[in-house]
Amino acid sequence: MQLLEIVIIGAGRLATHLGLAFYKQGLNTVQVYNRTPEKGGRLALRIGASFTDNVHEITLLADIYILAVSDSVLEELASKLRLKNKLVIHTSGTVEMNILAPVSSNIGVFYPVQTFSPNRRIDFQKIPICIEWNSTTAQELLTTLAEKLSKSVFHLTSDQRRILHLGAVFSSNFTNFMYAVTEELLLAHEIPFELLEPLILQTARNVKHGNLLQCQTGPAVRGDIKVLDKHRELLSDHPDYLEIYNLITENIIKLKFLHGKL
């Protein structure tokens, strides 16, 4: 089979990780487009592709076009592209596939369920990739691409993907914010964050066994009012964090009553 030619549109966090993963797997990224030339040029150089910051100079000769740009610009960018029957896909957890319908007759979604940050090594083989397509041609090409990168490829509809993304926000984005808050509170008292590492890792490992409500520990679930009040006192200089603390505490207590055995 002839080597597929890929164009990556975007040079942010995901585009960079994807470009490097394609390169590692021997996939042929022929061009990178990005609004900001410095970032785009740097990615292109790393993966042996050409670079353009002019949307009208995007080659029409590739097989797959991946739009890995901010969700809010997908529609605007799509309105500038006309790629006939080429496979055109986006990588968003929330945006519906059909936003790409004006661009090509073969469209799809390639949503990797992972958090991508700069300078963090990621093994794509272990990342679930959720795909969606609008035609048999798109299905075949997209499945080939996804299976080259990952051992776990799933078909999800746009509606299912949106719910999964909501779950990703709760379980990853919000959790990371909690770590950042914790780091700030600890550092202000010269307490090393590493002291919490075993607790954090065990909490994460608990997800493997399901029944997560039963794993809930802490003063809220114990109904320990004295401890809760002490914590509220400690947060008196941080009204925003106090609000979050109270809201989550109230919800844990509500769940405890709803599920009696929590």
Ligand X SMILES: NC(=O)c1ccc[n+]([C@@H]2O[C@H](COP(=O)([O-])OP(=O)(O)OC[C@H]3O[C@@H](n4cnc5c(N)ncnc54)[C@H](OP(=O)(O)O)[C@@H]3O)[C@@H](O)[C@H]2O)c1
Give residues in contact with ligand X (CB under 6 A). Answer: 10-15, 34-36, 39, 68-71, 73, 91-93, 111-112, 115-116
**Shortest CB 224 distance to ligand X, Å:** 36
Residue nearest to ligand X (CB): 12
**Shortest CB 54 distance to ligand X, Å:** 12
**Shortest CB 15 distance to ligand X, Å:** 6
**Shortest CB 121 distance to ligand X, Å:** 14
Residue with Cβ nearer ligand X (81 or 228): 81
Q: CB-based burial of residue 83 (10 Å sphere; 0-12 exposed, 13-18 middle, 19+ buried)?
A: buried
Residue with Cβ nearer ligand X (14 or 149): 14
Residue 206's nearest CA partner among 176, 234, 171, 238 is: 171
Residue with Cβ nearer ligand X (126 or 232): 126
Residue with Cβ nearer ligand X (107 or 228): 107
**Shortest CB 105 distance to ligand X, Å:** 22
**Shortest CB 76 distance to ligand X, Å:** 7
Cα dihedral sign, 124-126-128-133 = positive
Residue with Cβ nearer ligand X (6 or 68): 68
Residue with Cβ nearer ligand X (52 or 220): 52
